Structure 1
Amino acid sequence: MLRSKHCVILKRSTACLRRLNQIRSKTTLSSSIIGEKEFTFKTGHVARFADAAVVVESGDTAILATVVSKTRDQSSGFDGLPLQVDFRQSAAAVGRIPTTYLRREMQQSDTDIITSRIIDRSIRPMFPDSFSFETQIIINPLNEQLRHTSMNLLVSGTKNNRAVMIEMDGKEIEIVVFEEAIRQAFLDIDKLLSSIDELEKNAGKQKINFEVGNIEGKEKIHEHIKTVAEEQLIHILMDPTHDKISRDVAVNDLRKMILSAFGDNSELSSKLINSAWSSFVKFTLRRLILEQGIRCDGRNLDEFRPISIEVDVYKKLHGSALFQRGQSQVLGTVTFDSPDSAFHPDSLAQLLDAQQKKSFFLHYEFPGFAVNEFSSGRPFNRRELGHGFLAEKSLKHVIPENFPYCVRLACQVLESNGSTSMASACVGSLALFDAGVPIKSHVAGVAIGMVSEAEKETENYRILTDILGIEDYAGDMDFKMAGTKRGFTAMQLDLKTGGLTPKQLIEAVEAGRKGIDHVLGKMNEAIKKPRESFKSTVPIMATYPLPLHKRSILYRNGGYNVKLIQAETGVKISVEDDSNVSLFAQNPEKLSVAKKMIETMMEDGTSLELDFGAVYKVEIVDIQENGVFVRVKPGTRPLFIANRHLDSRKVNHASALGIEIGQNIHIQYLGRDEANGSHRFSRKMLQAAASRR
């Protein structure tokens, strides 16, 4: 199933809104029919104080997109586009009350943040380079139940079949299938674009007029930098002996020299000079790649950096691996836990999914020391969340569905110089092999870049394999692809241009396929198949037969016995089916102790054999507010009889009947409760029989 139509609605209803021209006082409509669904675009009827507001409807699903832009103040000094995209889901839209403590819709969930990033990546390339006003876009959708297909593909596109953003995860998708999916997506994109153009024609306002400050000053700075520093900069960028740190230091030293050369020129701020220098570095690096096919580390355009791999890094861990590609290094660790440790989704959209528990999850960490910086102190940011989500998508389809453990894969970036999310997919696969998870095949990932003459609409471009951080910084594209030997499992396309042509897209995908195969070869050399048996440190799972009528022995009194076993042995107990419980232990010794404790409890709890309908003389051993405990036979555990079974009259407390501890009374045995297996007794039935005599 293609989801391109949904992504296009999000993308185009906001990408056109960036022009801030869809608002008038009257309601204006436009519509398209995609397949069997009609998409309606409506504006001018809600949120009219916003710079723009559009409601997009399809069936029972509605999305409100609003835009606010600070166009009156250009003194904020932003370098780049200060765009903020917030996607927020409404609990009321699906008839649910929020599950937060205050029952309010509060912070964004992980799913909301991931969706916000997808929309941001679709819109950002559409803004002109000189647009630097603060802009905020908010979307309030209904939730739609996710459907399970072999491929989940979102595409943002413009006219002439230009792809702007791609987000995909799938079950080993072949290139021919992906190409056909893209072709079908653009058939629907064209229809939606026509409706959006119609809406703009009928309800549009003039685009914002804004001036780019000090153009002449910037041009003078650029020419001065070119004259003074071009030769030295080219020497730095063509020196393959530099690594990330030494190259950055050399470029920064040259920047300081340029800054000091301007002296105390009051007309030129240091910010303006630094901005011009940054642009010049990008321009120079791009020119070297386009004109001479030279990369700053000496590689060919389709060449990988050296790859080194180590598995079983720490023996005590359930699984571990270290993946190094150039100066990108990621440590991956696998931890097994009981199935009860699987966590529930964090959004209403996922709550509506049939499979609510998630038994495999990947956590991506990017500490500051990976790039020689101080950490922010925040637990994670949107970037970390997005990178982890992509790496998780890369691996989730190869995890066996019936794997008995809950699996946590932690990927910590130790060094960063390009595509650590794809390095995380690689190290994750290696660590899973080391842990003995029988995944179908290794998963490898690669980042493909591009440098083009985007301004000139020419065919002059270069596709780059395994891009460096500086190539991501200066280039036009960061296209991450992951997959097995059979096909792709995840993709994520980020662009800085107005879109990829069909030819550029196919060339990039083919380069990604070759790159994945290259990395897979290196990974198979390190570890070719998963371990045949788990390490000795891996927890043990066992099944203990426990019929339904005996289960109450463990779970009575608020699960006292289960908690007792876990406190003394650390073994987790969970219900598996009507006849068995599951035991999760850290080692065989603790499992054995837990089994003996259960056996002892069963013997104590089931040693009492009674005849149905028989009358027994019992001793009162304790009196509670709601009933009494009696001992039927010496040496057996006390059994409970509720107040309502002590007398035919309503009794609030046993003392009202003159019952005391140590007293003997007669009761009738009525068998076991069908629900929980507990013994049932009654005294009032004997009283009724006596009164009839």
Structure 2
Amino acid sequence: MSELEQQELQILQEVLKRSKEEYDEEIARREHLTHKVGSTSTGLHQEPLTNGTEPQAAAQPINSHGKKEDMQESEQSLAARSSKASDNCSTQSKTLPAVRVPVRAPAPLPTSREKSANQAAESWLEEARKEAGISKPYRELTAAQQEQLQHRAEYLRQQRDKLHALKKVQRGKSDAGEETSSPTPIPVPAPPAQILACEFYQYVLIFLFGFYKARDMNMRRLLTIGCWLSRAARRRVWTRASTERRVGVDLEGRKLEISTGKLAQLADGCSVVQVDYRQKAAAAGRIPTNYLRRELGTSETEILTSRLIDRSIRPLFPAGYFYDTQVLCNILAADGVNDPDVLAINGASAALAVSDIPWNGPVGAVRIGLIDGGFVVNPTRKEMGSSMLNLVIAGAPSSQVVMMEAAAENVLQQDFCHAVKLGIKHTQQIIHAIQQLVRELKVEKRTPQKLFNAPSEMVAFTRQLAGERIYTVFTDFSHDKISRDESVNKIRLETEEQIKEKFPHAEPFEVIEAFNAVSKEIFRNLVLTEYRRCDGRDLTSLRDISCEVDVFKPLHGSALFQRGQTQVFCTVTFDSLESSVKTDIVTTALSGIKDKNFMLHYEFPPYATNEIGKMGGLNRRELGHGALAEKALRPVIPKEFPFTIRVTSEVLESNGSSSMASACGGSLALMDAGVPISSAVAGVAVGLISKPNPEKVSEIQDYRLLTDILREILGIMNKSISKPRSERKEHGPVVENVRVPISRRAQFVGPGGYNLRRLQAQTGVTISQVDEETFSVFAPTPYALHEAQEFITEICKDDIKHPSALGLEVGQQIQVKYFGRDPTDGRMRLSRKVLQSPAATVVKTLSEKQSITMEAADEHTTSSS
């Protein structure tokens, strides 16, 4: 049998064992009651359950109320559905005996007990005979067949007794006391329908397992899952408190409220904190704009917030806990004033705390802003627009920092440290409120069946076997990353074989974890006692750093940054402002961010670590590391810049701290591209090696910080390029504003925008309107801009012929009449013709009797005849 099959059988054996214990307890209780008030008989359904048929009610007197009848009908319908489901899973059509539901009836007379018992035994034999498909009467069968039927009848009777015993346990001790005090059994109210369904399905599944045995593996797995779930449901669904409980915290005038027990009561933990996270369009009062008008994939904001929550709660799970645990945060409502990410951290913390999942929480989270020299706890979205600091900090009990993420604009070190202390102070208030909620609910944490840790004796054996060899590799400073990994893996393979010989029944993960534990212990002691890293550097020494800019001439900006065996290639690309990132309507409604014209994209291909992997879409790690480096560079980008800037960071090889290498390389590439950044940016990763207190594990006895010196990194970067280029590269993009008079705007745009689209298609430029008479022209190259300017000049020129076409010469004065300006195009309306005499061809010949007198006036002409 496979390991999965053994686990399934163990689960079923446990279920059957517990059922037998409950049955034995019930039999003992019934025998005790029999001596006092006599036994009770039960009504049984005598009709077998077949495919496509419904169970018929037993025609026996029932002393019960409407609730008893409803319970019986629900049991019959559940039995019918169970029979149909089992027929679909079986390869043959079977006739299944009805699962007998005990129904309380009046106590029989003592003289009829023996007769009733005989009739019940005969009915069970008849039922077993029909199930086996035997047509002969029982008395005409052979002794072997009769014995087989008796065993089957006994099995069916046991299943009936188990179901009857389980129902009696649900009635409680109070009902048993009432039975004892009265000579006539009193009907007991039916248990809740959900509990009854779980009990009923549980024993139907056990019966079907005995019927099908091991014929169908899929059926066995289905029964295993069914028995397990029914057991879990009967044990837990009705033990959870259904009353809603709330706690509140006052954070400098802003109230944080946490409630549980009202929504999602089937989950292990549920907490609603004003808003609760994934971003729903309905929470922001909007409808998604995609073609399905519903939430589809996750947005960048959702992924970054998920990582924020993940980093806050992951460190507090027990060591060796690898069971699947899912935390879902959904925004149910948003006011558009407060950001939901911090509230989502507190909601996830409260949900894990009130659940029975093993977790060493809770945590509390706040956001700290720095506005006009003062610190603000949980500032609003409007206040964050003028804040110089955006610090999100999550703390654990005893004022410990679990997670910290920040973005700032030249904040002093002492101000930042003060903000951290203030944030930790307010996280403790949230933690105390969640702990109060846990005490009110009286939460009991479940004990994991198994933690994936190596036994101490196996770790000691591994330390004795490979400790010296691992220490030798870690203190051999001639190794690089690849050679060191190869040496350690060689020791690992040799050691694992010897561990398996010493511990033949050890699990594979235990062997691996034992070796990892010894390796970590040796490395930690090397840092704590000898103040050395495995490459020979002390705790603050730099790896070898090299920088190079303008790597490829056609690029707008490029830089290659290498620190040790971490190498990053960064590029800068310019495009029009129309190419800025447009956020979706939900993110805009919740966070107020409409678009951004600076972005950093981080790429980590598999070859960076000498591996083969799938290339494709963006993963959460790449998105998170890119956002981290983008936060480092955004404060130095000028507020007003005529281009959209995209920085790409491709990790070519990685031996740690690739995100901070991206920040350094991105800063060099921006200066190479001629972006007027306010200062160069360098980043380092900081590691903490600690030694816990053996008397109190939550306290740190000793620690070491592993970091680099930023000033030295900036000095090396300045040797490559110390300030941004004064001009952008000659083959880079250009942007220019073009004035188009209102009178020529219609001619410039063309009917339906035809001329504008033709211009952009032929020259490759991008045109956007600035105001009524000004258009911004973005061209990828200076040559494209020159072509666009010629095109615009040709379209917008005035169609005026030379004066010689009218018989005039340059410098000659003529008189014209002014009629004002044209209301459509704003041009002056002038006419010379109205001041001249009519042409001879248009003068009408008059008769002798007619005469014309004309008199020229200043502004009018009169005539008479």
Taking a change above 3 Å as real, the CA distance of residues 213 and 323 of structure 1, as seen in their structure-2 partners, is closer
Taking a change above 3 Å as real, the CA distance of residues 91 and 325 of structure 1, as seen in their structure-2 partners, is same
The separation in 2 between residues aligned to 1:552 and 1:340, in whole angstroms, is 22
Which residue of 706, 710, 713 maps to 1:464?
A: 706
Contact 1:151 1:169 in 2 (8 A): yes
Residue 552 (structure 1) shift: 2.0
Residue 599 (structure 1) shift: 1.3
The separation in 2 between residues aligned to 1:214 and 1:330, in whole angstroms, is 37
Which residue of 571, 574, 589 maps to 1:336?
A: 574
Which residue identity is paired with 1:132?
A: F
Which residue identity is paired with 1:530?
A: P
Is 1:357 matched with 2:595? yes
Q: Point out the more displaced range, 265-274 or 145-154.
A: 265-274
The separation in 2 between residues aligned to 1:343 and 1:436, in whole angstroms, is 22
Which residue identity is paired with 2:464?
A: T
Residue 52 (structure 1) shift: 0.6
Taking a change above 3 Å as real, the CA distance of residues 530 and 103 of structure 1, as seen in their structure-2 partners, is same
Which residue identity is paired with 1:196?
A: I
Contact 2:322 2:451 in 1 (8 A): no
Q: Point out the more displaced range, 48-57 or 99-108.
A: 99-108
Contact 2:575 2:780 in 1 (8 A): no
Taking a change above 3 Å as real, the CA distance of residues 607 and 43 of structure 1, as seen in their structure-2 partners, is farther
Contact 2:638 2:678 in 1 (8 A): yes
Is 1:27 matched with 2:244? yes
Query: Which contiguous aligned blocks of 4+ residues in structure 1 show a shift greater than 6 angstroms?
Result: none
Residue 239 (structure 1) shift: 1.1
Taking a change above 3 Å as real, the CA distance of residues 314 and 214 of structure 1, as seen in their structure-2 partners, is closer
Contact 2:321 2:451 in 1 (8 A): no
Q: Secondary structure at the match of 1:451?
A: strand
Which residue of 790, 793, 797 maps to 1:603?
A: 797
Question: Counterpart of 2:661?
Answer: 423
Residue 585 (structure 1) shift: 1.6
Contact 1:309 1:523 in 2 (8 A): yes
The separation in 1 between residues aligned to 2:474 and 2:396, in whole angstroms, is 35
Question: Counterpart of 1:220?
Answer: 457
Q: Deviations over 1:426-467 (max 9, x none)?
A: 00000000000000000110001011113542431111115x
Question: Counterpart of 2:744?
Answer: 550
The separation in 1 between residues aligned to 2:537 and 2:591, in whole angstroms, is 46
1:273-352 aligned at under 5 Å gives the runs: 273-346=511-584, 348-351=586-589
Question: Counterpart of 1:132?
Answer: 322
Question: Counterpart of 2:299?
Answer: 109
Residue 130 (structure 1) shift: 2.9
Which residue identity is paired with 1:438?
A: P
Is 1:232 matched with 2:466? no
Which residue identity is paired with 1:291?
A: T
TM-score, structure 1 normalization: 0.72
Which residue identity is paired with 1:464?
A: L
Question: Counterpart of 1:566?
Answer: 760
Contact 1:23 1:53 in 2 (8 A): no
Q: Secondary structure at the match of 1:321?
A: strand
Taking a change above 3 Å as real, the CA distance of residues 30 and 247 of structure 1, as seen in their structure-2 partners, is same
- Name stretches of at least 5 consecutive residues in structure 2 with no aligned partner: 1-236, 338-380, 802-819, 830-865
The separation in 2 between residues aligned to 1:184 and 1:23, in whole angstroms, is 37
Q: Deviations over 1:573-606 (max 9, x none)?
A: 11122221111123332222211111111126x7
Q: Secondary structure at the match of 1:246?
A: helix
Which residue of 483, 488, 496 maps to 1:251?
A: 488
Residue 410 (structure 1) shift: 0.4
Contact 1:544 1:580 in 2 (8 A): yes
Question: Counterpart of 1:490?
Answer: none
Taking a change above 3 Å as real, the CA distance of residues 352 and 213 of structure 1, as seen in their structure-2 partners, is closer
The separation in 1 between residues aligned to 2:426 and 2:754, in whole angstroms, is 60
Taking a change above 3 Å as real, the CA distance of residues 518 and 194 of structure 1, as seen in their structure-2 partners, is same
Residue 516 (structure 1) shift: 2.2
Contact 1:553 1:601 in 2 (8 A): yes
The separation in 2 between residues aligned to 1:445 and 1:23, in whole angstroms, is 49
Q: Secondary structure at the match of 2:685?
A: strand
Residue 132 (structure 1) shift: 2.2
Q: Point out the more displaced range, 449-458 or 243-252.
A: 449-458
Residue 343 (structure 1) shift: 1.8
Is 1:37 matched with 2:254? yes
Which residue identity is paired with 2:256?
A: F
Is 1:524 matched with 2:766? no
The separation in 2 between residues aligned to 1:576 and 1:276, in whole angstroms, is 67
Question: Counterpart of 1:643?
Answer: none
Which residue identity is paired with 2:760?
A: Q
The separation in 2 between residues aligned to 1:379 and 1:354, in whole angstroms, is 27
Question: Counterpart of 1:175?
Answer: 413
Residue 232 (structure 1) shift: 0.7
Q: Point out the more displaced range, 437-446 or 289-298.
A: 289-298
Question: Counterpart of 2:478?
Answer: 241
Contact 1:111 1:346 in 2 (8 A): no
CA root-mean-square deviation: 2.5
Contact 2:629 2:660 in 1 (8 A): yes
Residue 419 (structure 1) shift: 0.9
Contact 2:750 2:756 in 1 (8 A): no
Q: Deviations over 1:519-550 (max 9, x none)?
A: 11211122110001111111111111113342
Taking a change above 3 Å as real, the CA distance of residues 168 and 186 of structure 1, as seen in their structure-2 partners, is same
Which residue of 99, 104, 108 maps to 2:289?
A: 99
The separation in 2 between residues aligned to 1:296 and 1:350, in whole angstroms, is 48
Q: Secondary structure at the match of 1:155?
A: strand
Contact 2:452 2:510 in 1 (8 A): no
Residue 23 (structure 1) shift: 5.7
Question: 1 or 2, which has the higher strand percentage?
Answer: 1
Question: Counterpart of 2:155?
Answer: none
Contact 1:88 1:112 in 2 (8 A): yes
Question: Counterpart of 1:485?
Answer: none
Residue 191 (structure 1) shift: 1.7
Residue 32 (structure 1) shift: 1.0
1:279-678 aligned at under 5 Å gives the runs: 279-346=517-584, 348-351=586-589, 356-454=594-692, 456=694, 457-466=699-708, 515-603=709-797, 671-673=822-824
Q: Point out the more displaced range, 257-266 or 543-552.
A: 257-266
Q: Secondary structure at the match of 2:724?
A: coil
Question: Counterpart of 2:159?
Answer: none
Which residue identity is paired with 2:255?
A: E
The separation in 2 between residues aligned to 1:107 and 1:184, in whole angstroms, is 37
Which residue identity is paired with 1:538?
A: G
Residue 95 (structure 1) shift: 0.6
Q: Deviations over 1:211-246 (max 9, x none)?
A: 44587x722321221111111100111111111111
Which residue identity is paired with 2:297?
A: Q
Which residue identity is paired with 1:105?
A: E
- How many positions carry a matched residue from both structures? 521
Which residue identity is paired with 1:406?
A: T
Contact 1:554 1:560 in 2 (8 A): no
Residue 670 (structure 1) shift: 11
Higher gyration radius (CA): 2
The separation in 1 between residues aligned to 2:416 and 2:564, in whole angstroms, is 30
Is 1:52 matched with 2:269? yes
Contact 1:23 1:52 in 2 (8 A): no
The separation in 1 between residues aligned to 2:747 and 2:595, in whole angstroms, is 28
Residue 270 (structure 1) shift: 3.0
Which residue identity is paired with 2:458?
A: I
The separation in 2 between residues aligned to 1:551 and 1:160, in whole angstroms, is 69
TM-score, structure 2 normalization: 0.58
Q: Point out the more displaced range, 338-347 or 437-446.
A: 338-347
Contact 1:23 1:204 in 2 (8 A): no
Question: Counterpart of 1:187?
Answer: 425
Contact 1:345 1:351 in 2 (8 A): no
Q: Deviations over 1:385-406 (max 9, x none)?
A: 0000000010011100111111
Contact 2:558 2:570 in 1 (8 A): yes
